[in-house]
Amino acid sequence: MNLADSLDINARARPDHPALIQGEASLDHATLSLLVRRSATHLLSLGLQPGDVVGLCLRDTIAHVVLIYALARAGLVMLPMDWRWTPAEQSNVATHFGARAVLIEPDAPVVGALRCIEVDAAWDASVTTASPDTDFVSDLEHPLLLSLSSGTTGRPKGPMIAHRHMLRRFWTHWINLGLNSQDRYICATPLYFGGGRTFTMSVLFSGGTVILLPPPHAPEAIPEAVAKYRATSLFLVPTQIRKLLEMPPDATAALGRLNLLLSSGSALHPEERTAIRARLCARFFEYYASTEGGGVSLLTPEDQLVYADSVGRPVYAVEVEVAGDADNKLPPGMIGALRYRGPGVADAFHNDPEASAEAFRGGWFYPGDLGEIDARGYVFLRGRKKDIIIRGGVNIYPGEIEQALAAHPAVLEASVVGWPSRNLGEEVAAFVVTRSAVDEAALQAWCRERLAPYKVPARFEFVGELPRNSSGKILKQALVAGLPPR
């Protein structure tokens, strides 16, 4: 089987059902299937062979989605790339992963010395005349894409995801999230980003409808699109949701009609989850996931009422454990290295044996997160292992302090890092984004009431916003770099 086989099934079963919508443009399922087949044939006619890595560096358009499935249909391996990256960043990633070619926008800068293929009017003309009846690769073990981890500085990391891995991730969407052929899903995040790409592929595989609402867009564009297109499902990262929470209730009322409002990328705070359910959508779910493993755990609206600081319980067929320093399984209630395994989890990082040996051990994937699991199977994140602050030999978990600060009514967001110290090794520093006036003394007093003395930040930095990567995760190293020596 090839994942694109499902497009042919949908084309026969519901040919005129809308598959892709962007503004006034649209494709039905019959047209999508035919266009994917012709595009795949044209890709192979350019000398590319099944198994070749091909960079996909396009804006978030219908053409981008068509080529996601065309690469899959042709048996080519997609390397997602952000068109916003500099030419040097694009070249670094494409070269490391051995891309044979890169698909780019018309007149975009070339990517190093790599072969660049413009998706332009000439491309469209060639696709129109290409045969849809090529004998394509059909094997679930065949590689599908290199799913890059967050960040592109230094040596990039990316696991090789096969068709079977992605299919099992789709199972999670059906079983745990309820996505199906009746969905009208809004893609409001970049297509090169794992969440936006995977949910788009899943809904189209199921025969549903995807509405493209690519960033950048004003926050009000999201509820307006939900109302205009009668959307049923929506995936957003926390930064997008926080902007919606700042809007008046009448401006976000359409979100209440959604069957599914889903967030992933970084954890939300308990009081934010409460506000989302009350003010945006009662059917709000939080998804803990990774590019390497797909969905890991899900926090349902019902779970949020009881386990406000959890990321939920494992999704279908995924096992999650907490391990000690010797990779031994720890009992409930103990903090250790989170690890998980399942049919959608990759086996290694491509072209990176050193990083693979560290993250993939004994059949488990170790994402670098610290966590604990209670007796009922609920997972609690306690920060990143590399972000542990060691103050005078004592381990301090930034997530605990961040939650305490986020509970302050004047604090919109907080990020806690280790501040290098000659005397103690590290001190605690907090970067805070506020929603109303508050000073350092007030925040220190707030923390002293809720935390042990050694966990109270020694320094507060008030900032307008926190630096983030393209998937919304806070760049803590950038924060540390801005601190003065101590």
pLDDT at 136: 97
Q: Do domains 5-185 and 217-384 have the same CATH topology?
A: yes
pLDDT at 384: 78
**Cα–Cα distance, 195 to 191 (Å, whole number):** 8
Residues recorded for the chain: 486
The residues, any chain, with a CB within 8 Å of residue 17's CB and separated by 6 or more, are: 10, 28, 29, 207, 209
Predicted TM-score (pTM) of this structure: 0.86
Cα→Cα distances 356→158, 279, 339, 363, 484, Å? 10, 43, 14, 12, 35
- Please give the chain's pLDDT, 486 residues, in tens: 999 999 999 999 999 999 999 999 999 999 999 999 999 999 999 999 999 999 999 999 999 999 999 999 999 999 999 898 888 888 988 998 999 999 999 989 988 889 999 999 999 999 999 999 999 999 999 999 998 875 434 556 889 999 999 999 999 999 999 999 999 999 999 999 889 999 999 999 999 999 999 999 999 999 999 999 999 999 998 889 989 999 999 999 999 999 999 998 777 888 889 999 999 999 999 999 988 999 999 999 999 999 888 999 999 999 999 999 999 999 999 999 999 999 999 999 998 898 899 999 999 999 988 999 999 999 998 877 888 888 887 788 888 899 899 999 999 999 999 998 877 888 999 999 999 999 999 999 999 999 988 899 999 999 999 998 766 778 888 898 888 876
* Domain 5-185 CATH assignment equals 3.30.70.1230: no
- CB-based burial of residue 28 (10 Å sphere; 0-12 exposed, 13-18 middle, 19+ buried)? middle
pLDDT at 309: 85
Of all residues in the chain, what percent are helix, strand and coil, respectively (each to 5)?
Answer: 35, 25, 40
The class of domain 388-481 in CATH terms is: alpha beta
Is 378:304 a contact under the CB 8 Å cutoff? no
CATH topology of domain 217-384: Rossmann fold (3.40.50)
The residues, any chain, with a CB within 8 Å of residue 263's CB and separated by 6 or more, are: 235, 236, 237, 238, 241, 276, 284, 285, 286, 287
* Per-domain boundaries in the chain: 5-185, 217-384, 388-481
Question: Would you tell me how many other CB atoms lie within 10 Å of the CB of residue 300?
Answer: 15
Residue written as tokens 């101590």? 486
**Cα–Cα distance, 138 to 37 (Å, whole number):** 13
